[in-house]
Chain A
């Protein structure tokens, strides 16, 4: 089945230790998104790629970076995780940017010690 895969499902890191979360998709969608979601809150869009075109949200901290080496894969790098970065990180894809439904992965739960 076509799907969005996130690895790992659970990630524990130490304060200030860089961490990378990965996302892959078999849907061949043009757009890939990274969201941060804290408990009982709405998903907050960090950035998205339309093909190779990177789009950063204005309020996304510089601590968060992303890479999309090819259509299928997208990575979220947190350069120096703080306690406030502990959250669920959701990857999603869509065929185009504006009007289509988004397909989500299961998420990676990040814990910062």
Chain B
């Protein structure tokens, strides 16, 4: 079953603008991760935020986590055409030996 649900499904912005994607999940998590996938390629890990963290930065990426609302957001600042990709959140739960569960993804298009 899908644990994470991204919102919006698709997002189109101009180069230089900020892009915000949201992820909601259903059960308690150990951590939440964000991945990027360029068209026709494998996924690349971007950032991991643990359940006891509220915010994390990596370069132009800023991730927040609100465990009370069971939601996370990924902000990409000053977007570039090269940021065009699909972005997936994935949750790591405490349930047995369950691997990561991926959401459906947000398709981001950055127009030059």
Contact = CB atoms under 8 A, between A and B. Distances in A.
B45 A33 contact: no
Contacts of B43: 43, 90, 92, 102, 104
Interface stretch (A13-21, A66-74, A79-87, A105-113): A105-113
Interface string B39-65: 011111100100000000000000000
B31 interface: yes
A42 B102 contact: yes
Given A97-B99, A99-B92, A41 B42 contact: no
Contacts of A90: 42-43
B30 interface: yes
Nearest to A57: B99
B4 to A, nearest CB: 9
A57 to B, nearest CB: 9
Given A98-B97, A98-B98, A107 B41 contact: yes
Q: How large is the interface on B (under 10, 10 to 19, 20 to 34, 35 or more residues)?
A: 20 to 34
Interface of A: 4, 6, 31, 33, 40-43, 45, 48, 50, 55, 88, 90, 92, 94, 97-99, 101-107, 109
Interface of B: 2, 30-31, 33, 35, 40-45, 48, 88, 90, 92-94, 97-100, 102-105, 107
Q: Is the interface of A mostly helix, strand, loop or mixed?
A: strand
Nearest to A107: B42
Given A41-B104, A99-B31, A88 B99 contact: no
